[in-house]
Amino acid sequence: MSNPAVTPTPLAEMMKKQHRGKLSLEKFITLAALFALLIIFSVTAKNFFTVRNVLTMALQTSTITLMGIGVTFVIITGGIDLSIGSVVALTGTCAVLVANTGVPSWLAMLIGVFVGALCGYGNGLLVTKLRLPPFIATLGTMMIFRGLVLTITNANSASAPDDFGHLANDNLFKVLHHNSDGSTSVVFPGISSIVLIMIVLALLFAFILKMTKTGRYTYAIGSNEEASRLSGIHVSRVKVYNYIFCGFLAGVVGILLASRMVTSQPNGGIGYELNAIAASVIGGTSLMGGVGTVGGTVIGSFIIGVLGTGLTMQGANYFAQQIVIGSVLIVAVAVDQLRNRPRRAKGNR
């Protein structure tokens, strides 16, 4: 049917449209919501908008952000990864145990991250080779990985060598001022390397998703898996890559948390996967697949992070925070649903 409403426009005009703002409406809405929260808390909570507090918030949010980015990749293909919370515990514990055998801490950390990627690879194989529904496959591995780490450690946490803690406890770009009386005062407390790692990885994975073949195929598979296969895309391979990304990032989080605590945490990371999924969904990722961005997930995770910190500073307890964050999740998706509701009776002649 040739729809008269769709008229061909001169190409010059078409090209012009390309370069118009790339920021989509939904991302704008979530970004606006984030700023609104920042403003509200700055006004209502004392000490909220201080350099120190903002940096602390960034630090606390970074772990959700990293895991959210990983799970975003998987969700875009139409999958899900519930195992990443367990992966956090497993990788951190592995790294600490390896470091305690005398292996240099940096190498132990790399091994930990590698274990994370390996966990993701396992998930990928279950989903592509055994054709298990991702929810079931990763629900299973969530239990398996958790069971593994508890078995290995007998549920005891172990402390790590001192230098294991440097990565996550050192601040960069710290600015000190030497006072005339010989003492020093802190001008800028420095940015935690956790935040810097988060920024670097967020940029890297945004690049992968937007600019590389793997990223493009990720969207294509989520948009239409069969059409992708019939276009010659190696669907299984791309899916496995995505689970590896997800496991890798969970591994990074595991290492960072272990380093921050300078101990292994066999019981750590419980429920993190749900926060990560929430961050991704608030950021505009669709569980139906095909839709989502790294930028959106970063915003989504910061909405959760800012809410958490802001509410704490206003004296709201953890339980009340859960209610608020849960409501935000529902509202975010409801708004999206209302906006995308197909107009009734489209006239399918």
Partner 1 sequence: MTEVLLEARGICKSFPGVKALDNVSFNLRKGEVHALLGENGAGKSTLMKILAGVQSPDSGSLFYKGTKVHFTTALEAQRAGISIIFQELNLVPHLSIAQNIFIGKEPRTRWGTVDEKKMNDSAEVLLARLNLKISTKIAVKDLSISTQQMVEIAKALSHDSDVVIMDEPTSALTESEITELFDVIHSLRDRGVGIIYISHRLEELRHIVDRISIFRDGQFISTDDYQAITMDEIVNRMVGRQLTNKFPHRKNVPTSEKLMEVTGLRQEGILHGISFDLRRGEILGIAGLMGAGRTELARAIFGADPIDSGSVVVNGQKLEIRSPRDAIRFGVAYLSEDRKNEGLAVRMEIGENISLASLSRVCGPLSVISREKEQLASRRYVEELNIRTPSLTQKVNNLSGGNQQKVVLAKWLFCEAKILIFDEPTRGIDVGAKYAIYELIEKLAIAGVGIIMISSELPEIMGMTDRVLVLHEGELTATLVTKNTNQEEILSFAAGVERAQNNSLSKENP
Distances (CA, A) of 247 to 13, 84, 87, 119, 274: 44, 7, 7, 6, 15
Which one, 4 or 315, has the nearer CB to partner 1? 4
- Round to whole Å and give the CA distance between 94 and 259: 12
Show the tokens assigned to 29: 């809405």
Instruction: Assess 6 for contact with partner 1 (CB under 8 A).
Output: yes
- The answer to whether 224 contacts partner 1 (rule: CB under 8 A) is yes
Site for partner 1 in 239-298 (CB under 8 A): 290-291
Q: Which residues contact 219 (CB under 8 A, 6 or more apart)?
A: 76, 209, 290
**What is the nearest approach in angstroms of partner 1 to the Cβ of residue 127?**
18
Task: Report in angstroms how near the CB of residue 20 gets to partner 1 at its nearest.
Answer: 9
Integer angstrom CA distances of residue 38 from 48, 53, 102, 281, 303: 9, 12, 45, 20, 9
From the CB of 184, what's the least distance to partner 1, in Å? Answer: 45
Position 216 contacts partner 1 (CB under 8 A): yes
Angle between helices 51-76 and 272-282 (to 10 degrees): 90
Q: Tell me the closest approach of the beta carbon of residue 331 to partner 1, in angstroms.
A: 23
Q: Does 130 bind partner 1 (CB under 8 A)?
A: no
Residue 131: CB minimum distance to partner 1, A = 15
Least distance (Å) between residue 256 CB and partner 1: 27
Region near partner 1 per CB under 8 A, out of 9-17, 112-120, 297-305, 312-320: 9-17
Buried b (16+ CB within 10 A) or exposed e, 3-41: eeeeeeeeeeeeeeeeeeeeeeebbebbbebbeebbeeb
Whether 292 contacts 75, CB under 8 Å: yes
Determine if 219 is a binding residue for partner 1 (CB under 8 A): yes
Rounded CA separation 111/291 (Å)? 33
Query: Is position 10 an interface residue for partner 1 (rule: CB under 8 A)?
Result: no
Question: Shortest approach of partner 1 to residue 73 CB, angstroms?
Answer: 16
**Which one among 100, 223, 312, 314 touches partner 1, defined by CB under 8 A?**
223
Binding to partner 1 by residue 25, rule CB under 8 A?
A: no
Q: What string marks each residue from 310 to 349 as x (binds partner 1 by CB under 8 A) or -?
A: -----------------------------------xxxxx
* Binds partner 1 (CB under 8 A): choice among 233, 262, 316, 333: 233
Element (H, E) at 43: helix 25-44
Task: Mark the segment that binds partner 1 (CB under 8 A) among 88-96, 122-130, 165-173, 205-213.
Answer: 205-213
Are the C-beta atoms of residues 265 and 112 closer than 8 Å to each other? Answer: no
The alpha carbons of the chain give a radius of gyration, in whole angstroms, of: 22
Near partner 1 by CB under 8 A: residue from 213, 331, 334, 339: 213
Contacts with partner 1 by CB under 8 A lie at 1-9, 11, 14-15, 17-18, 211-214, 216-217, 219-220, 223-224, 226-234, 290-291, 345-349
